[in-house]
Amino acid sequence: SPLPQERGGNNSFTHEALTLKYKLDNQFELVFVVGFQKILTLTYVDKLIDDVHKEFRDKYRNEFQQKGTLGLLNGTFDFKDDFMRLLRDAEESSKVRAPTVMKTFEQSLKSQKTVKCMIETRGEKPKEKVKNKKNKGSKKEGTEAVAAPGKASAGDKQSSGDREELTKDEILQKNREEFFRRHMKAGEKSSKSPKPEAQKEKGKKPRVWDLENSNAKVLDYSNSATNGNAEACPVEEFDPDAALGDRNREPGRLYDLEYESDEEAEEEKVVQNPSKPSVKKGGLGGMFGMLKGLVGSKSLTREDMDPVLEKMKDHLIAKNVAAEIAVQLCESVAKKLEGKVMGTFTTVTSTVKQALQEALVQILQPQRRVDVLRDVMDAQRHRRPYVVTFCGVNGVGKSTNLAKISFWLIENGFSVLIAACDTFRAGAVEQLRTHTRRLNALHPPESHGGRTMVQLYEKGYGKDAAGIAMEAIAYARNQGFDVVLVDTAGRMQDNAPLMTALAKLIAVNTPDLVLFVGEALVGNEAVDQLVKFNKALADHSMAQTPRLIDGIVLTKFDTIDDKVGAAISMTYITSKPIVFVGTGQTYCDLRSLNAKAVVAALMKA
Amino acid sequence: AMAGTLEPHLEALRRELRAPDPTVLSVLLTLIAVIVTLLIWRLVQGRRSSRKAVLLLGLCDAGKTLLFARLLTGRYRDTQTSINESSAVYRVSNDKSANVTLIDLPGHESLRLQFLERFKAAARAIVFVVDSVAFQREVKDVAEFLYQVLVDSTVLKNAPALLIACNKQDVTMAKSAKLIQQQLEKELNTLRVTRSAAPTSLDGSAAGGPAQLGKKGKDFDFSQLPMKVEFVECSARGSKGEEGDADFEGLEKWLAKIA
């Protein structure tokens, strides 16, 4: 569903075997959708949708304007006949253009040429053959089995076939002639060859290569008179003033870069002057236009919105939103606002800002429930542990946030097993062991009815991560732990064998929640990381519906002040919610996302 | 002496009124006109902003748009997923003078909270439409949305009447209203615990809203809410299919009561 998710920038959408092209009418709040099979390439779809839009709007304009919602509900929109007529017109217009009847051989220029002149241009023959093949291929693409073009194509095939046969004959003839010529020439050549060769040899000069015959003298281009002689250096006229430049500079001081604003001001003046007369001409009309814009009933055009959208896009990119996502967002907002009638006393800037704000809030709204505790309770009832896997690139804070989340779970009374599946990084297991010790000190078994709330399951370094995860889950089921948190090693998204290993871990163990840990400092890289991680998980999964990333943990949020764009980039790419936000390195620094606050920080100037 | 000091002022006023200075008089008149218009405008605004709206909320595919169409026109319509709100004035059948504005809000996850924000202040009553057939599967999502509606500060302050319409009763597998009520109460009971335990929001406000739903210590019950809650069964499609009428007398009666 591209429209509610603010992906409406591109006006076509593919779903299974169908391609849907859509057009928005923002004035009357209508959506026109055309669906057709993906394998067909119909050229008249765009024109059809425009025609339908215009006709429908003109025909039912009164009903929209006057009756409002009741009009929409009650009115019978008997548009079927008009639609069929428009469809037929569009199909015919496309048919007329497509197959141009090919000229028969007699008509073409080639039949007028003699055979001899064609032999010389040898390169043309293969080109001819390629052209014939292309024409045949395009005929096959046509989907409408109409009689007239069919007949034409049959006729063309025949003529091109004739052409091929002729070319074959011609080739034979040409080859024979060449053969004879060569034999004759060979005889002549053999007699002539020693003489010209002898002549050539005399005139031969040795080819001088760079490295082989390097004669140091030949290569030395330096002036032998002056170089190497210390005394005989030519004295140039040395002008100290010219060399130093500014006489007034203090010795030893490094000056700042001077900002030359005068030249720029001049340029601006020059540009403005030619535009001024045009402003004067349109003065009166311009004033009325401005008044009309203030009072309302002015519909937004692309030109009005473009400068504002450019500024908003730059603003978003300055706030650390990935560049391609900022572009797509602005496109989608533009499409949504085009043709919309503005209210009274609203400027273009305010309308666009409002629309962009709504779009951003929409993106940050989760598409599915974000309630980990509820799901843990469910799993508890079924007597199986709730498995959460943390994945991400190196150094984003997986282990730290794992510890924070386990602290939060313990506070809510759930027992946690930490599976140390990071068997690569030095000190990973020790780090988790330290966390376990500290958490057990904070929540001793005595205060929770005698059971240890946190335990670490580790098998040292160098072992297979997927195997350790499986054993940990089985151990948790036997011992009655509520939650299993699986910590994996950080890996770059380009590292194919490591991505395969991660995909295997997730596919084999089927965790309940796959969390991607990303830092809020990341910029355009976020797009690449998420896309590649999702792709790896999808490629290496054997199941029908592969397990992809289910949620995002945004870490190091305290290091960015209001450059919160990474949140937007990540949720836009995956359409998955941000489950947790990490705001520091102590156990209490775990927050949940507040969409409105983030959007307010983003839109703040 | 007092009269003496007042006398010259009174004399001046009388002189002014008798031979009025045009500029002063015009200024006075414009001031009076402005004050009168402001008063009238405020009166009109007040009447318009009185809560006259009935919101139709619910998950995606619960049947809100079809219910909306049936209430207004009585006829069946093929509907699509709404991406915008629709509003119209609904006249209660027996009483000609009473009318309410029905507002049908989209149920899509990305849009529902935004539209609720926009229209919650104007709500006199809320109809929460539940898909009785898919209820077993969706109970957690239904409960979460209902929780978000109930915990909202504006809703708690205004306490609009709440009707939970169990739609799609024409299908045989539909759950009854009583069952739905019990399940929702159980689910909301657990939800208020988990929601208040969720990590606090980024700007410091608590995730589950400052209010605690219902009474602490006791299991959650719809009677603990500050607003009147009723459960009703209905079917927008109607038992006779698309040609017949919809079965929602309970809904219509409730709307008549509200108006």
In a domain, A239, yes or no: no
CB-closest option in B69, B109, B140 to A367? B109
pLDDT of the residue at B151: 81
Burial class (CB in 10 A: 0-12, 13-18, 19+), A144: exposed
- List phi, psi (to 5°) of B245: -90, 165
Helix (H, G, I), strand (E, B) or coil at B67: helix
CB atoms inside a 10 Å sphere around CB A422: 23
Which residues of chain B lie closer than 8 angstroms to A5, CB-CB? Answer: 110
pLDDT of the residue at B78: 76
Same domain, A504 and A388: yes
Tokens at residue A482, please? 């509520």
Q: Which of A63, A95, A127 is the last residue of a domain?
A: A95
In a domain, A358, yes or no: yes
pLDDT of the residue at A434: 92
Which CATH number does the domain housing residue A44 bear?
3.30.450.60
Q: Which of A40, A60, A95 is the last residue of a domain?
A: A95
Same domain, A356 and A417: no
Same domain, A434 and A538: yes
CB contact under 8 A, A73 and B88: yes
CB-closest option in A371, A557, A590 to B194? A371
Q: Walk across the sheet containing A12-15 and list its strands.
A: A12-15, A18-25, A30-37
A68 touching chain B per CB within 8 A:
yes
Q: Evaluate if residue B214 carries a pLDDT over 70.
A: no
Which residue of chain A has the CA closest to B88? A69
pTM (two decimals): 0.67
CB-closest option in A358, A557, A590 to B114? A358
Is residue B138 within 8 Å of B59, Cβ to Cβ?
A: yes
Domain coverage including residue A55 = 4-95
In a domain, A74, yes or no: yes
CB contact under 8 A, A367 and B110: yes
Beta bridge partners of A284: none
In a domain, A205, yes or no: no
pLDDT of the residue at A148: 41
Burial class (CB in 10 A: 0-12, 13-18, 19+), A498: middle
Beta-sheet strands, E only, within A67-132: none
Same domain, A414 and A352: no
User: B39's torsion region: left (phi>0), alpha (psi -120 to 50) or beta?
Assistant: alpha
CB contact under 8 A, B140 and A367: no
pLDDT of the residue at A274: 40
Which residues of chain B lie closer than 8 angstroms to A593, CB-CB? Answer: 201-202
Is residue A321 within 8 Å of A527, Cβ to Cβ?
A: no
Amino acid at site A465: A
Same domain, A67 and A9: yes
- Provide the shortest C-alpha distance from residue A95 to chain B (in Å): 34
Same domain, A376 and A358: no
Which residues of chain B lie closer than 8 angstroms to A408, CB-CB? Answer: 199
Q: Using one digit for the tens of pLDDT, what is the confidence trace for B38-82?
A: 888 887 765 555 667 888 888 888 888 888 887 777 777 777 777
List the CATH code of the domain at B53-197+213-258. 3.40.50.300
CB contact under 8 A, B111 and A362: yes
Q: Which of A206-210, A293-297, A356-360 shows the lowest per-residue confidence on average (mean pLDDT)?
A: A293-297
- In A530-559, the residues whose Cβ lies within 8 Å of chain B are 557
Tokens at residue A140, please? 């096959």
Same domain, A465 and A515: yes
A149 touching chain B per CB within 8 A:
no
Domain count along chain A? 3
- Give the side-chain half-sphere CA count within 13 A for B60: 14
CB contact under 8 A, A597 and B201: yes
Q: What is the rounded CA–CA span in Å between residue A254 and residue A239?
A: 22
Which residue of chain A has the CA closest to B107? A4
Amino acid at site A523: G
pLDDT band at A419 (very low <50, low <70, confident <90, very high): very high
Q: Which of A466, A465, A467, A468 is nearest to A457 (CA)?
A: A468
Q: What is the rounded CA–CA span in Å between residue B159 and residue B228?
A: 8
Same domain, A377 and A502: yes
Same domain, A344 and A414: no
Beta bridge partners of A387: A484
Same domain, A420 and A559: yes
Q: Walk across the sheet containing A416-421 and list its strands.
A: A454-457, A416-421, A483-488, A386-391, A513-519, A551-555, A578-582, A590-591
Q: Evaluate if residue B88 carries a pLDDT over 90.
A: no
Same domain, A392 and A527: yes
Is residue A555 within 8 Å of A397, Cβ to Cβ?
A: yes
Tokens at residue A261, please? 């604003």
Is residue B191 within 8 Å of B142, Cβ to Cβ?
A: no
Amino acid at site B189: N
Q: What is the rounded CA–CA span in Å between residue A135 and residue A153?
A: 10
Task: Identify which has the larger pLDDT, A9 or A563.
Answer: A563
Which residues of chain A lie closer than 8 angstroms to B203, CB-CB? Answer: 594, 597
In a domain, A83, yes or no: yes
CB contact under 8 A, A591 and B201: yes
Amino acid at site A481: F
CB contact under 8 A, B199 and A591: yes
Which residues of B touch chain A, with CB atoms under 8 Å apart? 69, 72-73, 77, 81, 83-84, 86-88, 106, 108-111, 113-114, 140-141, 144, 190-191, 193-195, 197-203, 205, 207
- Provide the shortest C-alpha distance from residue B124 to chain A (in Å): 21
Q: Which residues does B83 contact at the CB level (< 8 Å), separation at least 6?
A: A3, A4, A31, B106, B108, B111
- List phi, psi (to 5°) of A44: -95, 5
Sign of the dihedral defined by the CA atoms of residues A285, A290, A291, A292, in that order: positive
- Provide the shortest C-alpha distance from residue A25 to chain B (in Å): 13
Q: Which of A72, A95, A118 is the last residue of a domain?
A: A95
- Written as one string, the DSSP assignment of A470-528 is HHHHHHHHHHT-SEEEEEE----TT-HHHHHHHHHHHHHH--SEEEEEEETT--THHHH
Same domain, A425 and A566: yes
Q: Evaluate if residue A261 carries a pLDDT over 50.
A: no
In a domain, A152, yes or no: no
Burial class (CB in 10 A: 0-12, 13-18, 19+), A558: middle
- Provide the shortest C-alpha distance from residue B108 to chain A (in Å): 8
A30 touching chain B per CB within 8 A:
no
Interface test with A, best of B110, B114, B145 (most A CBs within 10 A): B110
Domain boundaries of chain B, sorted by first residue: 53-197+213-258
Q: What is the rounded CA–CA span in Å between residue A312 and residue B142?
A: 37
pLDDT band at A517 (very low <50, low <70, confident <90, very high): very high
Is residue A348 within 8 Å of A290, Cβ to Cβ?
A: no
Q: Using one digit for the tens of pLDDT, what is the confidence trace for B55-64?
A: 888 888 888 8
Which residue of chain B has the CA closest to A67? B88
- Provide the shortest C-alpha distance from residue A600 to chain B (in Å): 11
Q: Which residues does A293 contact at the CB level (< 8 Å), separation at least 6?
A: A342, A347, A348
Which residues of chain A lie closer than 8 angstroms to B141, CB-CB? Answer: 369
In a domain, A87, yes or no: yes
Which CATH number does the domain housing residue A436 bear?
3.40.50.300
Interface confidence, given as ipTM, is 0.73
Q: Evaluate if residue A387 carries a pLDDT over 90.
A: yes
Q: Evaluate if residue B244 carries a pLDDT over 70.
A: no
Q: Which residues of A298-328 are buried (b: 16+ CB within 10 A; e: fewer)?
A: bebeeebbeebbeebbebbbebbbbeebbbb
CB-closest option in A358, A373, A593 to B194? A373
pLDDT of the residue at A135: 44
